[in-house]
Structure 1
Amino acid sequence: EARYDIVDAFFEGYETRSLLREEVMPKLGGDLEKLGRAFQAKKAGLKEVVSLYYFVLGLPRLVETLHQHATLASSEEVAGLVAGRFTTPLETVQTSFANLLRLVQSAVDLSAAQHHEYVIQSHFSGPLQSLSDERQEVLDRIEAHFSTLVNKLGLETDVVRLEHDAKFGHCLRVTRNNDKDLRNCSAVKNGKVKLNQLQTKKEGVLYQDTQLASMAEEHSLIFSRYSAEQKALASKVIDTASTFGPVISDCHSLLAELDVLLAFAHVASSAPEPYVRPTLVAPEDPRQRVLLRGCRHPCVERMEGVGFIKNDVELIRGEAALQVVTGPNMGGKSTYIRSAGVNVLLAQVGSFVPCDEAEISITDCILARVGAGDCQSRGVSTFMAEMLETATILKSATERSLVIIDELGRGTSTYDGFGLAWAIAEHIVTQVGCCTLFATHFHELTELAQRHSAVVNRHVSAHIEDAAMTMLYRVEDGPSDKAFGIHVAEAARFPTSVIRAAKRKLAELEAADVLPAKRGEVDTAAAGGQATGGEQSRARSALSAEERADGLTQVRALLASFRALPLDTLSGEAAAAAVSSLTRDFAASSNPICASICKS
C-alpha cells in the first residue's frame, strides 16, 4: 500500500516525474551497483573513484527536484510520503559523501581524468611533488639538448623528432626516407655529432648520442620512483573511498526503488487507458479472490493498430476457483489467462494495473505452464518439458497460489493428453484449492464443472458467417460449442485440397462417434437418467478398434457404390430400387457403426 501511495503521488505529479526520468536521473551517470561491487571486491581503481565522485556531484540536483515536488504536491500527506521515503534519506546520503568529495578534489587530477588519465595530483604529497620536480628538470634538459642537436645537424624539427620509446627512453627518430639526409649531415660526417643507431622499424630509425642516453636513463629511474609513489598514494585514496561501501549500497537501493516507482507511474499514466489502483485483500480474509473488471494485457494493448478487447476475470476460492477456458486457436485464450497473471504480478510488486477495477488477494507464487519448447542439449522433449514444469506446479502450489496452465497435453496422444489434463485439473481442485486458469482444447474437460462446484467454464467467442470465421476475443460464460481448427487452417490459407480432406476426415470421425453416444443414452435411459458428456466419452471406449475399422470400411464402400450409380440415366423407380438395395444390404450388417447410422 505504501508503494501504491508513492506511485499515486508521481502519477499526479507529471512535471516532477518527467524531470526526474528524462533529465535528473539519466545525468547521474555511472552504474552505482557495479561501482559498489568493484569496491567491495577490492578491484576498484582511480577510475571508479572518479566515477563515484561525478555521481555524487549529481545528487544535489536530485534532492532539489524532490523538494520541488513537495511544494507542488496536492497535499501535505503526499509530500510527506515522498519526503520520508526518498528526500530525507538521500539528503543523509549526500551529507555522508561530503568527505569523499573533498578527498577526490584534493588528491585526484580531475583535469587529466577528463582525458581518461587517472593520476594523483603532484602537490598532494611532499615526496611526490619532489619527484615530479626532479622529473620535470630532467625533461627540460632533454628538450634543451634536443634543440642543440637539431641546430648542429642543420635539419628541421619535422625531419628529426624527439620521442619516448618504451625500451630506450628518449631518443631521436627519423623516417627511413630521411635517414640518408641525417647520415649525410656535415656534423655527423666530421664527427661533431656522434649518433648511435638503436633500432630500425617500420615507423623510422632511432638514434641516441651519449648525453641523451644518459639523461634518458636518469629520467627512467626518476619516473620509476614517481610511479611507485603514485601507486602507493592511489591505493590509499582507493582504500578510503572503499569505506563508503555501505553508503553506496544505501544510495543504490534508494535510487533503484525510485526509478522503479517512477516507471510504474509513467506506464500507468501513458497507457492507452490509464491503469487503476488495485484493492488488496487481506491474507486473513477467508474469501480469497482475484476479481479483475475490464482486464487488459499491458503489452498487447500497446501494439500498433490493436484495439484491445477487455474481459473480466473472476476467481474465488471455493466458489469459482478453477476456470476451464475453451475456444478456437487464435481466439485469445492465452492472452486472457496471461493478462490475469501479469495483473496479479503487477499488483503485488506495487504497480497500478491495466483494469477498470481490481480486487486481488496476496499470492505466495504465480505458477505458469505456458508455451512449448524442448531442450535438446539435455535430451528433454517438448512433452517432457511440459510434464517437468507441471510436476513442479503440483508439488509447489498452495491454496494461496495462482496457477496458469495453457493447453496442457498437446505433445502426446489425444487420450493420454486428455487423461493427464483431467487428472491434473481435478487434483488442483480437490487437493490444492488455489485459483487456477486452465486453457485447453480438450472440450471434454468442461465436464469437470458438473462434478465440482468450484469449476466454472468460460470460452472465447467467434462468429461464423458464410464459412468465414471472425474472432471476437470476448470471453463469455459456458463451454465452447465446437472446435474451430479447420477454420483457422482456412484463415492460414491452407491448400483447398487439404482443407477438403480435413473436413472429410472430421466427418468420418464424428460419424464414428455416433454409436458410442447412442449407447450411452440407451444405457442411461434404462437406468432412468440422461447421458452426460463424460458418460458418452466413456461409452466410446466400449467400441473395439476392429469394429471401428470395419464400420468405416463399410461406410466408405456404401458411399462408393452410391457414387457409381448412373442416376442420370435411370428412371425414378429404378433409381429408388437401386438405392433401396444398397441401403438394405448396409442395414443387414452386424457392425454396430452401420446399425447406429441406420437407426439415426
Structure 2
Amino acid sequence: MKTYTPMIQQYLKVKAEVPDAFLFFRLGDFYEMFFDDALNASRELEITLTARDGGVEEKIPMCGVPHHAAAGYIEQLIDKGFKVAICEQTEDPKQAKGVVKREIVQMITPGTVMDSRSLEEKENHYLASVTGFDDDTYCVAHLDLSTGESKVAMIATREEAIHEVVMLQAREVVLASDVAPAVEKMLRERGIHSISMMDDCHVIDSFAHLVMELKQTKLQTTMARLLHYAHKTQKRSLDHLQKTTSYHVDSFLRMDPNSKRNLELTETIRGNGKKGSLVWLLDETMTAMGARLMRRWIDRPLIDREQIEGRLTLVEVFMDRYFERQTLREGLKGVYDLERLAGRVAFGNVNARDLVQLKKSLQQIPLIQQTLSEMEASEMVTEASKLDPCEDIADLLEAAIIEQPPLAIKEGNFIKDRFNEELDQYRDASRNGKSWIAELEQKEREKTGIRSLKIGYNRVFGYYIEVTKANLHVLAEGTYERRQTLTNAERFITPELKEKETLILQADERSTELEYELFQILRETVKKEIPRLQKLAHEISKLDVLQCFATVSENRHYVKPTFNEERFVNIKDGRHPVVEKVMDAQEYVPNDCHMDNDCEMLLITGPNMSGKSTYMRQVALTSVLAQIGCFVPAAKASLPIFDRIFTRIGAADDLVSGQSTFMVEMLEAQHALAHATQNSLVLFDEIGRGTSTYDGMALAQAIIEHVHDRIGAKTLFSTHYHELVGLSDELAKLVNVHVSAVEQNGHVVFLHKIKEGPADKSYGIHVAKLADLPTSLIDRANELLIGFESGNKKVESEVKEPVDTLGQLSLFGESTPKKSKKPDRMKREMVALNVLELTPLEAMNELYRLQKLAQTLTESK
C-alpha cells in the first residue's frame, strides 16, 4: 500500500472493513468505486468504466455515480442481492490536514433496506437469524427494520427452522460463521441467497430492554445476534424497534412452504404473481399496514377457537353495518403507513412531508372512533376505546408545519408563522428589510431623477445601487460610496443600505438554520412517542383487516363458519374462492364436502380437467379462511379446527437440488406422513404418477392404507388408478367419490359435480382430443386402449418400417424394402377368446367390447 497515493490507501483501508460489499466512496459530488468493485459495478449497473492514476504503474479501474442519484443505483444492487457500504467525509475539508477523514456511515443490505422506494408497500421486509444449539434445537428470530417488529421462536429441528425462514420470505439471513454447511446449503436451495455472518450474540446494555421479556437464554442469544448485525450495519439510532416477543409455531395452523405454494396463498404457482392468489382475492384493505397484517394472518391461521370466533364476531358486526363500514373505509383511506413513518422518524430520514402525513393520519382517528361507537355493538365500543388519537402530537404538527412543505429540510420555508417567536422576528426582519429596499429604490429614483436606477443583489457584493454610466453625471460628488465598476454601469453602497443588508442576510441565514433546528426538535418529540404510534398502528391495522374480510364476504356472498369438536367437515355448496372470482360466478359449480367419524378419507376419481384439484383446494382454502377469522365461500360450513394442512398437488422438478418430479412428490408425501396428526388435513393429488403404473399404484395404495390405519387425518386423495376404488371394501373409513362427466357424440362434457361412488372411466383420450391431438393418433390410442382393457398387454404396432427413399436402403445399408401390413385385429381378438370359460354376463361384456372394436376399426378405414 506504500506505493499507492494517500487517497487510494485510505480507500483500501476502509474497503478491508467490508470485503463482501460494494464501497461507495465519497469524492466531491460523486460516490466512486475502485478495483474489483469498479469492474463488478460497471457490469451490474451498466455504467462507464474508467481508470485513474493511483501511484502505481498501472491505472486503477474506477467508476462512479452522482451523489444526488445514488439511491437508484443502490436500489438496483440491493435488488440483485448485493450489499452496499456508504463511506462519507466525516470532517470539514477546510480544517483537514492531508486527506479528509472518511468513515462508513451505513451499510445497506437486502434485509436492512429503509428507503421507501426499495420496500414493497404491502409486504414485510424481514431480516432473519437462525441459531443452532448443542441439543440439536434451533431458534429463528426475525425483525423488520422498516416497522420495528421483532419476534423469535424455538423450533425443534433444522428442517422446521429452514421452513420457518422460507415462510417468512426473509430477504437476508444472519448466521454464525461456524454454522453447519448444511444450513447454508438448505437456505440457498430454497431461494435465500443473501446470507451474512455475525458471531457476537451477547446481550449488551443498549438493547437489553428489547429482549428482557424473553425467558430463555437461547431466545435472547438468537435475537441478540440479529440486533448486533442491525446495529453494526446501520450505525444509527434504532429506537423504533419494539420489544421482542416469542411465539410458538404450534400455536398456529402450520403449513410447510410447499403446501402454501400449492394452495397459492400469497402467490401463484405459475408466474409467482400476486394475481390469482388468496391475498389478491382478499385485499380490500385501505392501508398498507393493514395489507401487511392480512398477509401475516394468512401465513399463520389461528388454532385457538376463542380467538377465531372473536374475529368472526367483529367481521359479522361490520357486515351488518354497511353504511358505518363505508364511513370507516373512507376514514382509513386517509391513514398513511404509521408503522413505517415511525420507523423513519427513529431512523432519522424523515422529512417535513412525512410529518404532515403523520398529522393527517392522526386527524382521522377521532372520526374512526366515532364511527365504531355508532355501530352500537359492545365489541366495537371496546375497539374504539383501544385507539389513542395522539392529539398532542397531531396538534403540535398542525401548529408547526405548512400543508405542502418542500422535500428539502435544510432550505427552510416549511415552518408556519407564529409557531416560534424568534423565527417570526427573523422572517419579519427579512420581509420588512426587502420591502424597505424596494421603497429605498423608489426614493432614490425620485431624489436623483434617474429612472433607470435600481437596487440589486449578488452573493459576492451583497446589495448595491446600480447607475448606468450615461447617468453618472447627474450624481453629486459623495452621494454614494463606490462598490463595483462594470462596463456600462457603476455600483454603489450607502451606510444605511449596508446596515439593512447585514440585517436581511443574517435574518435569512438564521431563519433557515432555526427552521432546521426546530424540525429536529419536532422529530425528537415525535420520536419519544413512537411506542404510542406503533400501538395505534397495530389497532388500525386490525380494524382494516376485519373490515376487509367483511367487505369481501358481503361482495362474494360468504357465510360465517361454525366449528365442532367431533372433527366433522360439513360444507354445503362450497366454492373455490379464487376460481369463482376469476370465472363468472353464475358458471361456477358448487360442491358439498361431508366427512365424519365414518368417513376420514375421500378417494376422488374422475377425468383430467374435471375439477378434482380445484375441489381439494377449495376444502383447504375454506379451512384457512375460517381459521384466519373470515367468512367462507359456501352456503353453510361446519368445520373442525385443523392443526396442520399438507398438500401434495402438482408436478415440478427441483432442479437446484437435483431432484426429479417423482422425488419431489415422494419427499412432500414423506413430510406429510411424518408430521400429520389426527387433527390435520391432508391433500394428495395423483400420488405415484411419476413412476411406472404398478410402482405408482402400489405406492398410492400403501400411502392410503398408512394414512387410514395409522394417522387418521381427514384426507382427500385423488387418483387415476381406478383399481384403487376397491379399497372402500377393505378400509372402513374410506369413501369413493368422483367428479362426474358425460360423453356426448364422442366428446366428453365435464359437469364439475362431486358425486358418490367411483368414476366409470378416465376419459383421458377424450381430453387429448379436446387438446386437438392428430385424429390418427387419437384413433390409434383408442385401439390400444381396447387391447389393454382386454388384458392383451402387447398390441402390435402399425408403424411402418423405416425406409430410405433413395434406393430404399435399410438402416444397415441393404436394399430390403418391406411391405406394411395391417393385422386383422378382429380375427386375432376372436381367436384369443375362450367362450366356453365365460359366464353369461362376461360373454355379453365381451360381445359389447368386440362390437366397439369393430366400430373403431371400421371408422379408421
For normalisation by structure 2, the TM-score amounts to 0.50
Q: 1:413 to 1:168 in 2, by over 3 A?
A: farther
SS in 1 for 2:587: coil
| % identical aligned pairs | 29
Within a 5 Å distance, the mapping from 1:183-582 to structure 2 comes to 186=470, 194=484, 223-271=508-556, 274-282=557-565, 287-302=566-581, 303-304=583-584, 306-316=586-596, 319-374=598-653, 376=655, 381-511=660-790, 513-514=791-792, 552=796, 560=821, 563=824
SS in 2 for 1:124: coil
Q: Is the 8 A contact 1:119 1:234 kept in 2?
A: no
Q: Take 1:289 and 1:228, find their aligned partners in 2: how far apart are those partners?
A: 71
Q: Deviations over 1:404-453 (max 9, x none)?
A: 22233444444444344334333322332211112222323334433322
Corresponding residue of 2:397: 104
From 313, 320, 323, the equivalent of 1:15 is: 323
Q: Cα RMSD over matched residues?
A: 4.5
Cα distance, 1:13 vs structure 2: 2.1
SS in 1 for 2:341: helix
Q: Take 2:508 and 2:555, find their aligned partners in 1: how far apart are those partners?
A: 60
Cα distance, 1:402 vs structure 2: 1.2
Cα distance, 1:33 vs structure 2: 2.5
Corresponding residue of 1:82: 380
State the AA in 2 paired with 1:465: Q
SS in 2 for 1:239: helix
Q: Take 2:490 and 2:668, find their aligned partners in 1: how far apart are those partners?
A: 75
Q: Which consecutive residues of structure 1, in runs of 5 or more, have no partner in the other structure?
A: 71-78, 173-181, 198-206, 515-547, 566-578, 588-596
Q: Deviations over 1:172-222 (max 9, x none)?
A: 9xxxxxxxxx9998469999994669xxxxxxxxx9968699998986665
Q: Is the 8 A contact 2:708 2:733 kept in 1?
A: yes
Q: 1:585 to 1:410 in 2, by over 3 A?
A: closer
Q: Deviations over 1:227-280 (max 9, x none)?
A: 333222211211111232222222222222222222222223222xx3322221
SS in 2 for 1:248: helix
Instruction: State whether structure 2 residue 423 is matched by structure 1 residue 119.
Output: no
Q: Take 1:444 and 1:162, find their aligned partners in 2: how far apart are those partners?
A: 99
Q: Take 1:405 and 1:507, find their aligned partners in 2: how far apart are those partners?
A: 29
Choose 116-125 or 352-361, whichever is displaced more.
116-125
Q: Take 1:502 and 1:153, find their aligned partners in 2: how far apart are those partners?
A: 107
Q: Is the 8 A contact 1:153 1:188 kept in 2?
A: no
Q: Take 2:577 and 2:770, find their aligned partners in 1: how far apart are those partners?
A: 27
State the AA in 2 paired with 1:266: T
Q: 1:562 to 1:18 in 2, by over 3 A?
A: same
State the AA in 2 paired with 1:99: D
Corresponding residue of 1:526: none
Q: Take 1:184 and 1:376, find their aligned partners in 2: how far apart are those partners?
A: 83
For normalisation by structure 1, the TM-score amounts to 0.69
Instruction: State whether structure 2 residue 323 is matched by structure 1 residue 25.
Output: no
Q: Take 1:246 and 1:184, find their aligned partners in 2: how far apart are those partners?
A: 65
Q: 1:105 to 1:563 in 2, by over 3 A?
A: closer
Corresponding residue of 1:574: none
Corresponding residue of 2:75: none
Q: 1:222 to 1:415 in 2, by over 3 A?
A: farther
Q: Take 1:126 and 1:438, find their aligned partners in 2: how far apart are those partners?
A: 77
State the AA in 2 paired with 1:87: A
Corresponding residue of 1:534: none
State the AA in 2 paired with 1:16: E
State the AA in 1 paired with 2:535: D
Q: Take 1:564 and 1:436, find their aligned partners in 2: how far apart are those partners?
A: 44
SS in 1 for 2:772: coil
Choose 241-250 or 117-126, whichever is displaced more.
117-126
Corresponding residue of 1:538: none
Q: Take 1:371 and 1:52, find their aligned partners in 2: how far apart are those partners?
A: 46
Choose 230-239 or 119-128, whichever is displaced more.
119-128
Q: Deviations over 1:366-423 (max 9, x none)?
A: 2223234445566555444444433433333222121222233444444444344334
Choose 291-300 or 212-221, whichever is displaced more.
212-221
State the AA in 1 paired with 2:317: A
SS in 2 for 1:291: strand
From 339, 350, 354, the equivalent of 1:48 is: 354
Q: Take 1:48 and 1:474, find their aligned partners in 2: how far apart are those partners?
A: 54
Corresponding residue of 1:517: none
Q: Is the 8 A contact 1:49 1:241 kept in 2?
A: no
Instruction: State whether structure 2 residue 423 is matched by structure 1 residue 128.
Output: yes
Q: Take 2:506 and 2:683, find their aligned partners in 1: how far apart are those partners?
A: 72
Corresponding residue of 2:288: none
Corresponding residue of 1:531: none
SS in 1 for 2:766: helix
From 328, 353, 367, the equivalent of 1:61 is: 367
Cα distance, 1:40 vs structure 2: 4.5
Q: Is the 8 A contact 1:46 1:118 kept in 2?
A: no
Q: Take 1:445 and 1:311, find their aligned partners in 2: how far apart are those partners?
A: 23
SS in 1 for 2:650: coil
Q: 1:409 to 1:168 in 2, by over 3 A?
A: farther
SS in 2 for 1:441: coil
Q: Which consecutive residues of structure 2, in runs of 5 or more, have no partner in the other structure?
A: 1-308, 476-481, 802-819, 835-845, 851-861
Q: Take 2:764 and 2:600, find their aligned partners in 1: how far apart are those partners?
A: 28
Q: Is the 8 A contact 1:290 1:360 kept in 2?
A: yes
Q: 1:380 to 1:209 in 2, by over 3 A?
A: farther
Q: Is the 8 A contact 2:373 2:380 kept in 1?
A: no
Q: Take 1:359 and 1:189, find their aligned partners in 2: how far apart are those partners?
A: 104
Q: 1:380 to 1:140 in 2, by over 3 A?
A: farther
Higher relative contact order (CA 8 A, sep 6+): 1
Corresponding residue of 1:179: none
SS in 2 for 1:331: coil
Q: Deviations over 1:139-193 (max 9, x none)?
A: 5577678889999997799xxx9798xx869899xxxxxxxxx999846999999
Q: 1:260 to 1:142 in 2, by over 3 A?
A: same
Q: Take 1:169 and 1:463, find their aligned partners in 2: how far apart are those partners?
A: 95
Q: Take 2:689 and 2:341, find their aligned partners in 1: how far apart are those partners?
A: 48
Q: Is the 8 A contact 2:468 2:490 kept in 1?
A: no
SS in 1 for 2:758: coil
SS in 2 for 1:299: helix
